[in-house]
Amino acid sequence: MKKKLKIVLILIALSLSGIIVFQTYWSINAYQVNKKNFDANIDIAMQHALDSCKKNYFDSIRVVLVRRLSDPNVVIKMDTVPLQDAQRNFFQTKITDTVYAQNKKRSKKKSSDTIITKKTSPSKETVDYSLLNVWISNRHSESSNPLPLSISIYNYYKHKVGNTATVPQVLTEMAFYSPEMASYIISILSIGDIPVFPSHLPSSSKNQGTKPLPYDSIFKNATFSMPPNYRQATVLKIKKYYTAELKKMHIYSPFNISVTKAPTEPQSPTLSYSETTEHNYKYNAFLLFNQHNFEPLFFRAIFHQAQSIVIKGMMLTLICSVLLILLTIYCFYYIIIMLKQQKRIAELKDDFINNMTHEFKTPIATITVAIEGLQKFNGLNDPDKTQRYLQTSRNELNRLNELVTRALNVAASENNEISLVKEQIDIDTLINEAITSEKLKAGKDVSITYTNKNAIKYIEADKLHFGSVITNLIDNAIKYSNEPVIIQINLLQNGNKIQLSVKDNGIGIPASHINHIFDKFHRVPTGNLHNVKGTGLGLSYVKYIVEAHNGTVTVKSETNNGTEFIINIPINNE
């Protein structure tokens, strides 16, 4: 049994170690995968943020251009001019190219797999080949030459913006796709951004004290230059959009934005550190289609607490993994405890069988000897000898019956099959009968004193089983005591309960066994007393009967200083 238990423990230890190693290996791999996903997601978020900043930049330029072209000081004239055949062919080709370029760009946005292989011309019925001459002027400048436009191209962009679009809105939209229109608008409006001082005016104006003319531009001399705080403003804008993109991916992690004017070598991401790749961004200020003259900035997001963020994302999985390991450990621990209990119960049963065998063997041997004496040594002819042999046989049969009854009672109590018959019993008579019975079969010098301090007369209990409880306690006190045996039995009333104590001067119970003495089959080592026999069932039966009377039983004991059992049950037990 010990060898098998050892093998089982080794197998359990190996299984538990394997589970822990596997869970640890899986957690590390899961962390590495999630870390790679985290690095990829923060880079995608940066790209989306820069795209949003770029869109915001162009939308802002649209607002500015529309506002400036809509200024009352800005005059836009448009005249219709019929086309000659050569001009008609030129603008027909230009219209076709414009529509083709716009359709191609729109198709790429809708599907990266779409490839346009041929140009599609507008319907001849819907194309107006008349020419528009556009003049733009303000208080500072006036275009000397108009910008020729096809009415169809103009109508195309108007339809793109919306049928209710104003002329400034249409011209602004055209400027984003037509370099000629962009250059034409900027060349006119930029003159208004140059300060005009009185020294530039005619002398007559000077004498009149003319003040500098106000700027038309909201740029204030920034049409082709960056504002002084452009770098800080750009970082704040990118950080705002980047934070929003991270929230969409459920990433809530502190980060820093690194900004450089020249590309630098990025640091390689580690398990605890992350950074995005370096992205260039040239939409830093309102430079109005003149970006190629300015160097871009390079942006990179740096995460110093990437490890904690990834672990937080895995927290539910890690908690479940830890709980699974703890549950497995508990199950294995429970199995080990149960195996030890089964092993202990098996040992106790073996001891019980051995003890019962010896207990049964003694009365059987005694009765056999008495019968042989009667048969072989003419015991029947000697009445006194016959009476002694018969009495001895009767006593041993009673002892044998008592052992069988005790075993059956414990088995019945285990199956909750004992039915109590409660009645009013004279407690003094019950205890005195038990004392007399135990003294007769003790075989030792026994002194038993009984005191009823409150003169309790009757109690409500089962006479047979409660009497067996008292008998068991007195029998144990005699068996586990050296001569002379001194036993004190005290009865007193404690409220609506009676307290019965049985105290001896015996060998006592070791502290390590106090919590197990009421367990079935458990026997306390007897020290130097090697002739004490028992089944290990008595105290288990005592506890069951007392609790069946709604009472409690406790024990106080010190090694070599005796033992005291204390029973408390209600006087009127219903």
Close Cβ partners of 545 (under 8 Å, ≥ 6 residues apart): 413, 418, 462, 465, 466, 468, 469
How large a percentage of the chain has pLDDT more than 90? 8
Quick one: pLDDT band at residue 106, thresholds 50, 70, 90?
A: low
Sorted by where each begins, the domain ranges of the chain are 1-71+226-313, 74-109+119-215, 420-570
pLDDT digits (tens, 9 = 90+) for 284-338: 766 666 655 567 788 999 988 888 888 888 888 888 888 888 888 888 888 888 8
226-250: b (≥16 Cβ within 10 Å) or e? eeeebeeebbebbbebbeebbeeee
- Picking from 221, 233, 218, 223, the residue whose alpha carbon sits closest to that of residue 281 is 233
End-to-end Cα distance, the chain: 47
* E strands, 197-341, in order: 256-260, 274-275, 279-281, 297-303
pLDDT digits (tens, 9 = 90+) for 197-228: 344 334 444 444 444 444 443 344 445 566 66
> Which pair of structure tokens corresponds to residue 559?
């090694």
Residue 322's pLDDT is 86
Quick one: pLDDT band at residue 444, thresholds 50, 70, 90?
A: confident
Residue 214's pLDDT is 43
In a 3-state reduction of DSSP, which class is residue 88?
Answer: helix
The residue count for the chain: 574
Residue 374 to residue 228: CA distance in whole angstroms = 132
Q: Is residue 205 a contact partner of residue 195, using CB atoms and an 8 Å limit? A: no
pLDDT digits (tens, 9 = 90+) for 465-517: 888 888 888 888 888 888 888 889 999 988 888 899 999 888 888 888 788 78
Q: Around Cβ 467, how many Cβ atoms within 10 Å?
A: 19
Residue 521 to residue 417: CA distance in whole angstroms = 19
Res 113 pLDDT > 50: no
Chain mean position to CA 549:
48
Residue carrying the six token digits 């007559």: 204
> Which pair of structure tokens corresponds to residue 366?
């005694």
CA angle 303, 307, 313 (to 5 degrees): 105
pLDDT digits (tens, 9 = 90+) for 25-66: 888 888 888 888 998 999 999 999 999 998 988 888 888 888
DSSP code string of 30-73: HHHHHHHHHHHHHHHHHHHHHHHHHHHHHHHHHHHHHHHHTSTT
Model pTM score:
0.51
DSSP annotation of 276 reads: P
Domain 420-570: CATH superfamily, name plus number: Histidine kinase-like ATPase, C-terminal domain (3.30.565.10)
